[in-house]
Structure 1
C-alpha cells in the first residue's frame, strides 16, 4: 500500500509539473514525496489577484483512499485569515478534505487528487469571498453589502502586503525601506556544498523563490494598479473593519497604508533589477573559474548560433563582451505581420545558479505588445523538462511574440494597457494594432 501511495503521489506531481497552468506550482524534496509544497497564484479580477499563496500537503500511507492534510502557510505567522475557509492557524475548510461538512457526493474519493484540491482552494479565492461564509451566501442587507466591500478591500491590501511584498522582501533579504545587504551574504546561500550536507532537511526548502521573482516582474504593473485603486478608494491610516464571522484569534486586523505598499513594491523592483545586473559580474567570475554553468552556457550559445546559421534564421545572437552569462538577441520582425520590418534588441541574463534560477529576459527596444511588460519583460512559458535548454527559452519568447490567435488568458496580463486593448472591442483592437505598428516603426529608427 505504501509503495502504491508513493507511486500515486509521484505521478500526480509529475503531471502537475508538466502542464502549463500558470497559476499552480508544486514541489517536494526528492527524499520526501509525502510532504509537498504548493503555490496558488490568485485569480484575475479578485482581491487575491496575482498573490502568492503557499500550502503544505502531508500525504499519509493510506492515500489516495484518504485525503492528505492541507495547511495554509501564507498567514503572516498565524495572524491573518485570508478567507472564511482559510483560517489564520492554517486550517483549510473543504468538504473533500473532511474539514467541513459538505453535501452528499462532495466528500473525498480516490479519484480526486492534488490538482483537484488545489483547484478547490483556488475557487475559494473568488471576487466576493464574503459569500463563502455559511449564512452569508445571499447577503443583501445594506450592512452586509458594506461588509462585502470592506472585506474585499482588506483582502486586496493584505494580498499585496503579505503574499507578495513580504514574500519578495524575504527572498531578496531587504527590509521595508529597501535596504539591500552586502552581496556576499546573498552569495553564500548558494555556495552551500550539498554533497557535504548530511541532513538535507536542515537546508531551507524554498522551491518557489525564483518563480515568484519572475512572476513579480510579470505582474508588477498590475500590483501598482491595485495600489492606485486602493489609494483612490480608501484613506491611509483607516482601520480594517472586522467581519461578523471573524473571531479574536481568527481574523484579519490592521490598517490601510497603500502609499507604503507602493514604495515597497518599487524597492522590490529595484532590488530585482540590481540582482539581475549582479549576475553579469558574478558571471565573469564564474567564467574565469571555468565553472560548469559557464562552460554549459558557452556551449549552448555556440550550438544555437550554428543552428541559426544552418536554418537560415535571420536573428543574430552574440555575447556581451564575451560573457557567457549575458547574451543579446537581435530579433527581426516576422514578414507579413504587424512585426514586419521591426528590429529588436533582446537581452538575456543568466544566473551562475542556472537553471535553478531561470534566465531574466528583457526587450531593450521598446515594443507595445500584450505579452511584453512595460519594462520589456516578456511573458513566456517553457516546460519544466526543457528549462535547461536556452534555445527553448528563445523559441518560447518568439512564439509568444508572433502568436496570431492566442487563447484569452488573464494569467498572461503583464502589460495592462496593451492587454485591455488587445482583448477589447474591435475598435480597441485596431488601436492596439496601430500602437504596435508605431512601436515597430520606431524600432527601425533607433
Structure 2
C-alpha cells in the first residue's frame, strides 16, 4: 500500500508541475487515491476549450491494475459526449479494461499511469469522433459524411452549453433566470473558511464541496472568450434556433445526445458570464481594502512583495513602473515601456493586476488597459501569461513582461487569446507583416495617449 501511495504522489506531482495546459489533477488531503481530473478540449475539434471533468479512483493494487475512471461532465447523466464516453459516465478504453483492444499492447500495464490515461481520453476528443464508434470508422458514403458533420455540430454546441457555460454559471452563482446570486460578504467568507478548516481537522472534509478547478475555469474562460464567441457566431448561421439534433444510429436507450440548437441563448449566457467575472474581479479591490483594514496576513504579504519588487527594480533598466492603486495591495498598476529595438519600442502601456484576498488559491487577473494588437492579449485586454511560481508576484511581473516581449513563440492555440491576431501571426509571410503593422500602430497610438 505504501508503494502505491508513493507512486500516486509522484504521478500527481509530475502532472501538476508539468507544462501541459490541457490536463489538471487535484485531490483532497484525506484520500489521495480519489482524484479529480480535468481535460480541456483540444483546439480545432468540436470539444475546443471545453472543461471535461473525471473522477479517478486508484485501488490498493495500483499500478498492477488500472484505475476506475468516470466522466462527470454529462449534464447529470443525460449527455453522451463521445461514442467512448457514455452519458452514465463510463469511459471505454482498452487500457482501462473497459474495452477489448484489437492490437497487442493496448491493454493496461504498470508502465502506464495517470497522465497516459488522461492523454488517451483526450485523444478520443478528435475532430471526427464519429469514427470512434466500432464499425463506423470506414464509412465514407454521402449519408455517413453528412451524419459525421451533424454529429460534430451537436457536440460543438453541447460543449459550449454544458462543458463551458453551464460550468461557469454554477461557479458564479448565475441562476436559470439569468439573475446572479449576491456574493457572501467578506466576514461570511471568513467564517466559511474557518468552518472548512475545522472540518478538515475533524477528518470530515467530505462534507465540504470540493471544487479544485473553480479558479482555473474562470481564468481560462477569459482567455478563450473570444474563441467561444466566434464559434457561436459562425455556427448560428448554420443551425437555426430550435432545430433538433440529428440522432445517430449508435445512440439509444438514454445513452444519447438529444436536444436542439439554441445559439442565441448561448451567446446571451456567454456574455453574462463574461460581465459577471469582470464584476467579481472589481469586487476584489473592495474586499482587499477590507482585508488591509483588518490586517489580514495576505494583505501584509502582498504589501511586502510590492515593496521588494519596487526596490529590486531601482537598479535595473527602465522597463516598468510599478505602484499600488489607491494604496491597495490587491490592485497593482504597471506602466510598461516598450523594449528598445523591438516591435514594442517606444510604446507605453498601462496594465492592471487585480488580486484576490484568497491569493494564491485564486490567481491574479491581468488586463492591459492600453489597447494593443497582440496574440497574447484578448480584445477586452485580458493577458495570457504563465508565472513560474504562482505564489510570488515577482514571478507574475516577469511573466507578464515576457508574454508581451516574446517575439518568436511556438504555435500553441491554447496560449493565443486573440484569434484574429493569431491567424495573422502564424499565417503567410504577408499575414505576419500585417500583424506587425497592426502591432506597431497600437504602439504608436499608445505614445499619442501618453
TM-score normalised by structure 1 residue count: 0.97
Q: Which residue of 1 aligns with 2:35?
A: 36
Alpha-carbon contact 1:42-1:125 (below 8 Å) kept = yes
Q: Deviations over 1:275-314 (max 9, x none)?
A: 0000011111001001011111100000110111133443
Give the match's secondary structure for 1:285: helix
Q: Which residue of 2 aligns with 1:440?
A: 443
Alpha-carbon contact 2:320-2:334 (below 8 Å) kept = yes
What is the alpha-carbon distance in structure 2 between the residues aligned to residue 89 and residue 135 of structure 1?
A: 22
Residue 420 of structure 2 corresponds to residue 422 of structure 1:
no
Q: Which residue of 2 aligns with 1:157?
A: 157
Alpha-carbon contact 2:64-2:109 (below 8 Å) kept = yes
Residue 80 of structure 2 corresponds to residue 81 of structure 1:
yes
- Of the structure 1 ranges 172-181 and 157-166, higher mean CA displacement relative to structure 2 is found in 172-181
Pairs within 5 Å for 1:10-89: 10-89=9-88
What is the alpha-carbon distance in structure 1 between the residues aligned to residue 137 and residue 185 of structure 2?
A: 50
CA RMSD of aligned residues (A): 1.2
What is the alpha-carbon distance in structure 2 between the residues aligned to residue 186 and residue 74 of structure 1?
A: 31
Structure with more relative contact order (C-alpha pairs < 8 Å, separation 6 or more): 1
Q: Which residue of 2 aligns with 1:145?
A: 145
Alpha-carbon contact 1:177-1:267 (below 8 Å) kept = no
Alpha-carbon contact 2:23-2:38 (below 8 Å) kept = yes
User: 1:29, CA displacement in angstroms?
Assistant: 1.0
Give the match's secondary structure for 1:153: helix
Q: Which residue of 1 aligns with 2:136?
A: 136
Pairs within 5 Å for 1:184-263: 184=184, 188=188, 191-193=192-194, 194-197=196-199, 198=202, 199-263=204-268
What is the alpha-carbon distance in structure 1 between the residues aligned to residue 178 and residue 345 of structure 2?
A: 42
Count of matched residue pairs: 443
Residue 342 of structure 2 corresponds to residue 343 of structure 1:
no
What is the alpha-carbon distance in structure 2 between the residues aligned to residue 90 and residue 195 of structure 1?
A: 32
Q: Deviations over 1:117-165 (max 9, x none)?
A: 0110000000000000000001112221111111011100000000000
What is the alpha-carbon distance in structure 2 between the residues aligned to residue 312 and residue 337 of structure 1?
A: 15
User: 1:187, CA displacement in angstroms?
Assistant: 7.3
TM-score normalised by structure 2 residue count: 0.97
Query: 274, 291, 306: which is aligned to 2:279?
Result: 274
Structure 2 CA distance for partners of 1:81 and 1:185, relative to 1, 3 Å: farther
Alpha-carbon contact 2:387-2:398 (below 8 Å) kept = no
Q: Deviations over 1:245-264 (max 9, x none)?
A: 01121000111000000000
- Of the structure 1 ranges 368-377 and 305-314, higher mean CA displacement relative to structure 2 is found in 305-314
What is the alpha-carbon distance in structure 2 between the residues aligned to residue 188 and residue 160 of structure 1?
A: 33
Q: Which residue of 2 aligns with 1:394?
A: 397
Query: 342, 346, 361: which is aligned to 2:366?
Result: 361
Give the match's secondary structure for 2:236: helix
Q: Which residue of 2 aligns with 1:175?
A: 175
Q: Deviations over 1:345-375 (max 9, x none)?
A: 0000011111110001100001100111111
Unaligned runs of 5+ in 2: none
What is the alpha-carbon distance in structure 2 between the residues aligned to residue 223 and residue 112 of structure 1?
A: 34
User: 1:8, CA displacement in angstroms?
Assistant: 0.4
Give the match's secondary structure for 1:355: coil
Give the match's secondary structure for 1:192: helix
